[in-house]
Amino acid sequence: MSLRPSILDPLFAPVSTLTGVGPKVVALLDRLLAEPNRPARVLDLLFHLPHAGISRALKGSIAEAPPGEAVTLRVRVVHHQPAPFDRPKAPYRVLVEDDTGDVSLVFFKMPRARIQQLLPVGTTRFISGKLEQWDGRRQMVHPDRILDEAAFAALPTVEAVYGQTEGLTSRLIAKFVGTALGTLPAMPEWQDAAWLAKNNLPPFADALRAVHQASDAPPEESDKNPARRRLAYDELLASQLALAMVRNRMRRLPGRTNAGDGHLVDALINGLPYSLTGAQARALAEIRGDLMADKRMLRLLQGDVGAGKTVVGLLAMASAVEAGRQAAMMAPTEILARQHYERIGPMARAVGLEVALLTGRDRAAERRATLAGLESGAIHIVVGTHALFQEGIGFKDLGIAVVDEQHRFGVHQRLALGAKGESVDILVMTATPIPRTLALTYFGDMDVSVLDEKPAGRKPITTRLVSNDRLDEVVAAIGRAIQAGQLVYWVCPLIAESEVVDLAAAEDRFEDLKQYFGEEVGLIHGKMPGREKDLAMERFTSAQTKILVSTTVIEVGVDVPAATVMVIEHAERFGLAQLHQLRGRIGRGAASSTCLLLYKGPLGQVSRARLETMRETEDGFRIAEEDLKLRGEGEILGTRQSGLPGFRLARLDIDGDLLAAARDDARLVMERDDRLVSERGRALRVLLYMFERDAAVKLLQAG
């Protein structure tokens, strides 16, 4: 049963409920707006915003009108020229003129009577459409509009242009949107009145009407248009409020102290071959502060690649073990889980801790032993993949869950993980340098610790752009590098959407390189059985193979300090954040590193600018901001795949500044009226339902 306020019913009704929308149109609108699990609804039509406006203002005279563009002209009708009898398929032409020249209007298969009715000889008409030059004459094929004086006066000067589908023109969509706007119910104002006034924002319904009245203003102006901003803010508030409600609920669950006297933490730190950076020490103090407090921790540990997050995660887990709890670290891939296990294991065992690995492919006996150890509490720390949070895995007393490379997980998994213990503290570690605006969007008001300092002694990476034509030189350079004892990653590109094709590319390259380097070349890719992947990684780590050809499986987290060269083929096809992640696999040891970005020319201006950015900087934040500008937010976080709801109206590249305001507002609402029962609270429920963030509302019932 849906608890959706009934005031919203007309908006959630299918488009077929609109007058004038018959089955044929429904099918077309469905094609444009439906999702696999629902038909096109009135709401979807209303949120289908025009992406441009065409001006219908008069554009000078016929002689001045630029060919190839949409124009509106005031003309006299001079002469009709029907198709000759012997060529009935020829077009019907009507000659029109003004004082500067003439235009031939061309009609195919339009009933003659209709043409004569629209364009009587001798009358004045307003025509708009695209002017073309044909055979030395001006013509216009099927004008969009043919209007008399009165109709022209009634026409809006700018017409909205909508994303269309075959058989459904922009004009028709505009008509149905008009009908839909007519059904808009009177809804309570959910925004703070003072805030609206201060920012000069119109009421929701006015704003929605206004954005459908497109303007032909340049994009910079329409981006800042108050109507569009109002709608964007509504959507951002809905999402921030939903996140705040989830968080509020988690916070309200009783927490407990999950850190002890620090003896394990100190022992671990003493055993490290290096000292913590200032940033690591700061983050650790913040985390221990949260663990000590009897509220739940929900903290993001954000640090660029190579900043040293893993050891902070380990120290956080050790803190919980001190308090008599267990700890879990979850990684997005088996390779990563195993790597964490191999690095963390020896350190933790050295201070007397029991550590286990749990992935989807452990042998049955191993797995049984691990499960028993988790249940009895004999295992203190477990490292694993998603497998950790399957049904049937029980802990004696889980105190903290550390999630590495969070952006690969959805919010749902995060919540599932919280459910594994009575009050599990959660530390999310992310290597993707997420711009602040995005962090807010996806994690809401999480606490954040930032590792803004790299471990001492890191050498900068030299990055070069090299054309594909020079592959021979690259191979020669690689040969010299491995002679000198260096290890090389060779990354093959992501082609289209097809893993099969990617694989073929990597396998081909592997074969090519074997011709030169024989057994010194290894191959790793996502489709390999897990054991083979481990083996390939092991051989590379121990320098049995010196060149590792891979698809992008090494993108996240892999740590082989002796690897100092990376070749990335078709670098122009990667996102910047992804290139940054990849490149972060080198430059980890004391030796200096080189990254060769191979591209297939000629490069467009944007592609070149992007690759230049990579050459110029290693600053992940700067790179991420550039990426955001160039690609949009979904791709950075990989959320297209993970199915997080995106935004329909807000655009983070231009509305990012509103996000902080929405977050603050949501927090204030939670402080004053966390059950949403005040007048504004009830209006906010309408908002949440309208933007389909109603999962959050259910928490009100549950808790």
Instruction: List interacting residues with ligand ADP (CB under 6 A).
Output: 274, 276-277, 280, 303, 305-311, 431, 455, 557, 559, 561, 588
**42 vs 451, which CB is nearer to Mg ion?**
451
| Backbone CA torsion sign across 378, 380, 382, 388 | positive
Q: Minimum Å distance from CB 629 to ligand ADP?
A: 24
Four-point Cα dihedral 65, 68, 74, 80, nearest 10? 120
Of 311, 302, 244, 300, the residue nearest 277 (C-alpha)? 311
Of 144, 148, 158, 143, the residue nearest 57 (C-alpha)? 158
92-98 and 70-81 strand pairing: antiparallel
Stretch that binds Mg ion, among 194-202, 228-236, 555-563, 601-609 (CB under 5 A): 555-563
| Backbone CA torsion sign across 276, 454, 306, 547 | negative
Asked if 90 and 83 count as a contact pair (C-beta separation under 8 A), the reply is yes
Rounded Cα gap, residues 605 and 580, in angstroms: 20
Q: Does 620 bind Mg ion (CB under 5 A)?
A: no
Looking at residues 89 to 148 of the shown chain, list those that interact with Mg ion (rule: CB under 5 A): none
Q: Minimum Å distance from CB 593 to Mg ion?
A: 17
The reply to whether omega before 602 is within 30° of 0 (cis) is yes
Using CB positions, name the residue nearest to ligand ADP: 308
Asked if 305 and 587 count as a contact pair (C-beta separation under 8 A), the reply is no
**243 vs 268, which CB is nearer to Mg ion?**
268
Of 9, 12, 2, the residue nearest 44 (C-alpha)? 12
Q: Does 433 bind Mg ion (CB under 5 A)?
A: no
Rounded Cα gap, residues 461 and 584, in angstroms: 9
Q: Does 557 bind Mg ion (CB under 5 A)?
A: yes
By a kind-dependent CB cut-off of 5 to 8 A, residue 680 interacts, out of Mg ion, ligand ADP, none, with: none
**159 vs 555, which CB is nearer to Mg ion?**
555
**421 vs 557, which CB is nearer to Mg ion?**
557
By a kind-dependent CB cut-off of 5 to 8 A, residue 564 interacts, out of Mg ion, ligand ADP, none, with: none
By a kind-dependent CB cut-off of 5 to 8 A, residue 143 interacts, out of ligand ADP, Mg ion, none, with: none
Of 588, 590, 611, the residue nearest 601 (C-alpha)? 611
**298 vs 301, which CB is nearer to Mg ion?**
301
Q: Minimum Å distance from CB 272 to ligand ADP?
A: 7
Instruction: Output the CA–CA distances (angstroms, integers) from residue 393 to 382, 396, 427, 611, in the order listed.
Output: 12, 10, 20, 46
Rounded Cα gap, residues 278 and 320, in angstroms: 22
Q: Minimum Å distance from CB 280 to ligand ADP?
A: 6
By a kind-dependent CB cut-off of 5 to 8 A, residue 108 interacts, out of Mg ion, ligand ADP, none, with: none
By a kind-dependent CB cut-off of 5 to 8 A, residue 277 interacts, out of ligand ADP, Mg ion, none, with: ligand ADP
Rounded Cα gap, residues 506 and 491, in angstroms: 8
Q: Minimum Å distance from CB 319 to ligand ADP?
A: 17
By a kind-dependent CB cut-off of 5 to 8 A, residue 345 interacts, out of Mg ion, ligand ADP, none, with: none
The amino acid at residue 183 is: T
Stretch that binds Mg ion, among 412-420, 453-461, 554-562, 643-651 (CB under 5 A): 554-562
The three-class DSSP label of residue 701 is helix
**402 vs 474, which CB is nearer to ligand ADP?**
402
Q: Minimum Å distance from CB 365 to ligand ADP?
A: 31
By a kind-dependent CB cut-off of 5 to 8 A, residue 311 interacts, out of Mg ion, ligand ADP, none, with: ligand ADP
By a kind-dependent CB cut-off of 5 to 8 A, residue 545 interacts, out of Mg ion, ligand ADP, none, with: none
Bridge partners for 356 per DSSP:
382
Q: Minimum Å distance from CB 28 to ligand ADP?
A: 49
By a kind-dependent CB cut-off of 5 to 8 A, residue 274 interacts, out of ligand ADP, Mg ion, none, with: ligand ADP
Give the pair of three-digit tokens for residue 122: 């001798």
Q: Minimum Å distance from CB 590 to ligand ADP?
A: 10
Asked if 98 and 74 count as a contact pair (C-beta separation under 8 A), the reply is yes
Using CB positions, name the residue nearest to Mg ion: 557
**195 vs 274, which CB is nearer to ligand ADP?**
274
**309 vs 663, which CB is nearer to ligand ADP?**
309
Q: Minimum Å distance from CB 477 to ligand ADP?
A: 26
Of 227, 56, 69, the residue nearest 158 (C-alpha)? 56
Q: Minimum Å distance from CB 520 to ligand ADP?
A: 24
Stretch that binds Mg ion, among 20-28, 128-136, 200-208, 553-561 (CB under 5 A): 553-561
By a kind-dependent CB cut-off of 5 to 8 A, residue 398 interacts, out of Mg ion, ligand ADP, none, with: none
CB count, 10 Å around CB of 540?
Answer: 24
158-161 and 132-134 strand pairing: unpaired
**15 vs 451, which CB is nearer to ligand ADP?**
451
Q: Minimum Å distance from CB 680 to ligand ADP?
A: 42
425-430 and 398-404 strand pairing: parallel
Bridge partners for 488 per DSSP:
547, 565
Instruction: Output the CA–CA distances (angstroms, integers) from residue 479 to 287, 295, 521, 676, in the order listed.
Output: 46, 56, 11, 66
**91 vs 313, which CB is nearer to ligand ADP?**
313
Rounded Cα gap, residues 94 and 82, in angstroms: 8
Q: Minimum Å distance from CB 307 to ligand ADP?
A: 4
**303 vs 373, which CB is nearer to ligand ADP?**
303
Rounded Cα gap, residues 638 and 650, in angstroms: 18
Asked if 575 and 627 count as a contact pair (C-beta separation under 8 A), the reply is yes
Q: Which residues here bind Mg ion, judged by CB under 5 A? A: 557
